[in-house]
A and B are shown apart, each in its own frame.
Chain A
């Protein structure tokens, strides 16, 4: 590895991001750049070095931002400091992406030569344009036989309004063309501007938790300089603290004396609580610092909520500790204790979106070895009561009595769907069925149509994306952003098992869909709940009125008749195994309910 020069003239600095739709090869490209610039020795190269979490690597997605400094000897004979910022590729993390982009002057927009422009390509390109970045379009995966460079160029020009005649055709996998990307970054991305003499102003664009050092913030210095020992102030958080260490990532943390205007690096303070170090916050000097924060900061708000409960009540404390630990690296994760009659003690957890929810659940189970039940996701409803109060409802159980409700509002999204033209009808059908209203339709190219829908988030969190994928044979891509709250005629649908309401199975639904959904759920639950000692009636009801009913018949026969000398031990083991199987179920009253029943709402076929 080459050692770092003391201080670089800001004209030799380039800060840029890689942006792309999921799976378009962003992380592989990042790996290749690290290799090409000898940032990592060949023997240390691990596939996708920048995606450091197991789950990220496994699922091929980037959840956290990363910032790596590489040194590049360009064709003009000069040596440049390139700061490469790898951004999360998923729509749940749009705000994080926007902050990462705010730390850059340029963006390399990666488009898969076989897939073309997709929904998140557009979303990310729009974010980059809003941030006034120089965009370098790159068509990746040209080594694949199905690559169609000309078509993709057309889509970039028509769909993104970005000139594509100079788009670079590369293969991150083979390394072909990657040099050209770095040359283009040096030539086309402007060097950072910033006033080295002005008081310190730095943007926090991500953070993570280190067990030994506390919160480590990734920062871009806008003005001034950041040095060890400085007293600094975080403007939005209103916290003053001391700089313990600054440095750059290569990709291992390497301490430096200072970070100057235009540079990107990390900052360690004494702060231990990740919620104090907010993405988008401005770092300045405690005394004589800037008073105006950098633009664009906002509080991150969860959009999707789900109850998470341990299958075994003994794991409640374990779950709390696990959530505390995860939240250290994920300040967007919010949770509060929740009690369910059916599921006992657990937490109502708020997520940025569906992927975020899935990732968190998977990490809780996998990294902390917990056995969890999660309830169907819900959204934030605004309930206006007859006496003029506004209640914010995150869980169906909190829905007040219908007689006290004046009206209810629910969040809507603007969903952008990209599809080949032959699937327009399928998307229409699905979106209308999910209470969507059609906004616009634009042909981005001969092969790609962009449709915009206004759709309730509650419908989207069910299975809209899965359905979209299956009805378009996997061709659709989806992006969404919060739009606004709208009044809707909503009711709480309760599920009764053996005559008793099971709170964890309740959900909020549009009145017109209550019968259909309630019936479908009752049928699905009948399939999921195994036959028990007694007949178990399943009822779907709104306000005490039963809309649908199915019945799980009583179990008739469960006996292994042979039991002689050698069978007794085997038999005993079998009984134990059966019992262990039951342990994985939740017993509600007399009824053994498998974990998947609580997610059945997402799996009903319509």
Chain B
């Protein structure tokens, strides 16, 4: 029973310098996008016909850059979705947008067709940093776009990146403050990841740019948590901050083991079976089957991405499948990665920053069972 629906729109005007995602840079009138829309429409109709969309309660149009898909195509897609899904039971309907391609008219039309949340990829409010990232917009453009979309959308999320070559504690503070001045409901904060083979990695390897070291990146992440927390945006997930009540329901679904359907090239789906096992697959590919204990270990490590952590009850239940679970959580506590309060294990500051260490130790529970 899928509760979340994700539609992938893998097109961009240009690849960002750090991009390693499934996407393709195409001009606005590229016929590929028409063909892609045709396929999406068929797949959505098929899913609706099979009854797979009946229980959908959150939707997400992600990319790529969905707003680069073009006004007409996007509206056509949203229209079909509005016919295929019971919009009255959809609690959250997000469209990802880039400041350079979101027009006021498009924002209005998307809202009219049911979208109620915009996630805007701002990344930085410093133009030189945007240039390093290979973004096509300026800081002013981003602020302008956001203000304009406010006429419709009362739920806005902004993405910011820290650890950009050239970024300082001061310029990061500036970006955070600029973001706050736009009064978004939600903020996502990502440390820049330099993936092998990207133009950014090449620029760093050639010495044209210098990478921000581990310690400074850690400082910036802590700075974000401090500043945002003080302004009424508590952290609810390792990279997510929101005003109370505006935590992303769709994303929370990913971290809490809710079944979801992904449509479009490279889109991921997950389905829990009645036997407690779990299937994961990419659109059009064979599913990977996770055993019940693997699913339990996955739920535990995903839960530790969130500030609410793991309850003693959840841990006890998981330990029937993962006999070492209690021991490992004790160890995590002694390592300072989690702390136990009010019958729950919560990630510590160290646990946030050393997430991979924490999640790896929890995921390893599946191996031992």
A interface residues, Cβ below 8 angstroms from B: 531, 533, 553, 555-569, 571-572, 574-576, 578-579
A565 touching B267, Cβ below 8 Å: yes
B352 touching A559, Cβ below 8 Å: yes
Q: Which range contains the number of B residues in contact with the other chain? A: 35 or more
B6 touching A561, Cβ below 8 Å: no
Q: Which of B84-118 contact A (CB under 8 A)?
A: none
CB < 8 Å: which of B267, B280, B288, B354 contacts A558?
A: B354
B214 touching A565, Cβ below 8 Å: no
B355 touching A572, Cβ below 8 Å: no
Minimum CB–CB distance from B343 to chain A (whole Å) comes to 25
A565 touching B262, Cβ below 8 Å: yes
Minimum CB–CB distance from B200 to chain A (whole Å) comes to 16
B interface residues, Cβ below 8 angstroms from A: 4, 6, 22, 62, 189-191, 193, 214-215, 217-218, 221, 238-239, 251, 254-255, 260, 262, 266-270, 280, 282, 288, 298, 301-302, 305, 335-337, 350, 352-357, 359-360, 363-364
Cα–Cα distance between A569 and B269 once the two chains are bound (Å): 10
Q: Kindly list chain B residues whose C-beta atoms are within 8 Å of the C-beta of A553.
A: 215
Minimum CB–CB distance from B73 to chain A (whole Å) comes to 22
A566 touching B191, Cβ below 8 Å: no
A561 touching B189, Cβ below 8 Å: yes
CB < 8 Å: which of B239, B251, B282 contacts A561?
A: B239
A558 touching B298, Cβ below 8 Å: no
B262 touching A566, Cβ below 8 Å: yes
Minimum CB–CB distance from B190 to chain A (whole Å) comes to 4
Supply 17 further A-B pairs (C-beta < 8 A) apart from A558-B355, A565-B4, A565-B268: A533-B335, A533-B354, A555-B354, A556-B214, A556-B217, A557-B353, A560-B193, A561-B355, A562-B190, A563-B305, A564-B251, A564-B254, A565-B260, A567-B268, A568-B254, A572-B363, A578-B356
Between A and B, 22 residue pairs with Cβ closer than 8 Å are A531-B214, A533-B337, A533-B354, A553-B215, A555-B354, A557-B215, A557-B218, A558-B353, A559-B238, A559-B354, A562-B190, A562-B239, A563-B255, A564-B62, A565-B4, A565-B262, A567-B268, A569-B288, A574-B356, A575-B301, A575-B363, A576-B363
A559 touching B191, Cβ below 8 Å: yes
Minimum CB–CB distance from B330 to chain A (whole Å) comes to 15
Minimum CB–CB distance from A531 to chain B (whole Å) comes to 8
A565 touching B254, Cβ below 8 Å: yes
Q: Is the interface of A mostly helix, strand, loop or mixed?
A: loop
Question: Given A568-B268, A575-B363, A579-B364 in contact, is the A561-B353 Cβ separation under 8 Å?
Answer: no
| Complex A-B, nearest 4 residue pairs according to Cβ-Cβ distance, in ascending order | A559-B355, A566-B268, A556-B218, A561-B239
Q: Kindly list chain B residues whose C-beta atoms are within 8 Å of the C-beta of A533.
A: 335-337, 350, 354, 357
A568 touching B360, Cβ below 8 Å: no
Minimum CB–CB distance from B65 to chain A (whole Å) comes to 16
Minimum CB–CB distance from A422 to chain B (whole Å) comes to 35
Q: Kindly list chain A residues whose C-beta atoms are within 8 Å of the C-beta of B4.
A: 565
Q: Kindly list chain A residues whose C-beta atoms are within 8 Å of the C-beta of B337.
A: 533
Cα–Cα distance between A569 and B238 once the two chains are bound (Å): 18
Q: Kindly list chain A residues whose C-beta atoms are within 8 Å of the C-beta of B280.
A: 568-569
A556 touching B215, Cβ below 8 Å: yes
Q: Kindly list chain A residues whose C-beta atoms are within 8 Å of the C-beta of B221.
A: 557
Interface centre among A559, A562, A567 (most CB of B within 10 A): A559
Q: Kindly list chain A residues whose C-beta atoms are within 8 Å of the C-beta of B363.
A: 572, 575-576
B302 touching A565, Cβ below 8 Å: no
Question: Given A556-B218, A557-B214 in contact, is the A568-B356 Cβ separation under 8 Å?
Answer: no
Minimum CB–CB distance from B315 to chain A (whole Å) comes to 19
Cα–Cα distance between A560 and B266 once the two chains are bound (Å): 20
Q: Kindly list chain B residues whose C-beta atoms are within 8 Å of the C-beta of A565.
A: 4, 6, 254, 260, 262, 267-270
Q: Kindly list chain A residues whose C-beta atoms are within 8 Å of the C-beta of B269.
A: 565
B238 touching A561, Cβ below 8 Å: yes
A557 touching B268, Cβ below 8 Å: no
Q: Kindly list chain B residues whose C-beta atoms are within 8 Å of the C-beta of A569.
A: 268, 280, 288
Cα–Cα distance between A564 and B190 once the two chains are bound (Å): 13
Cα–Cα distance between A574 and B301 once the two chains are bound (Å): 13
The residue on A at minimum CB distance from B297 is A572
Cα–Cα distance between A578 and B301 once the two chains are bound (Å): 15
The residue on B at minimum CB distance from A576 is B363
Cα–Cα distance between A466 and B214 once the two chains are bound (Å): 35
Cα–Cα distance between A559 and B189 once the two chains are bound (Å): 12
Q: Kindly list chain A residues whose C-beta atoms are within 8 Å of the C-beta of B270.
A: 565, 568
Q: Kindly list chain A residues whose C-beta atoms are within 8 Å of the C-beta of B262.
A: 565-566
Minimum CB–CB distance from B150 to chain A (whole Å) comes to 25
Cα–Cα distance between A171 and B353 once the two chains are bound (Å): 65
Minimum CB–CB distance from B360 to chain A (whole Å) comes to 4
Cα–Cα distance between A564 and B270 once the two chains are bound (Å): 12
CB < 8 Å: which of A559, A561, A572, A578 contacts B298?
A: A572
Q: Kindly list chain A residues whose C-beta atoms are within 8 Å of the C-beta of B353.
A: 556-559
The residue on A at minimum CB distance from B215 is A556
Q: Kindly list chain A residues whose C-beta atoms are within 8 Å of the C-beta of B217.
A: 556-557
Cα–Cα distance between A578 and B354 once the two chains are bound (Å): 13
Cα–Cα distance between A559 and B301 once the two chains are bound (Å): 13
B355 touching A560, Cβ below 8 Å: yes
Cα–Cα distance between A421 and B305 once the two chains are bound (Å): 66
Q: Kindly list chain A residues whose C-beta atoms are within 8 Å of the C-beta of B288.
A: 569
Q: Kindly list chain A residues whose C-beta atoms are within 8 Å of the C-beta of B357.
A: 533, 555, 558
The residue on B at minimum CB distance from A565 is B268
Cα–Cα distance between A569 and B255 once the two chains are bound (Å): 12
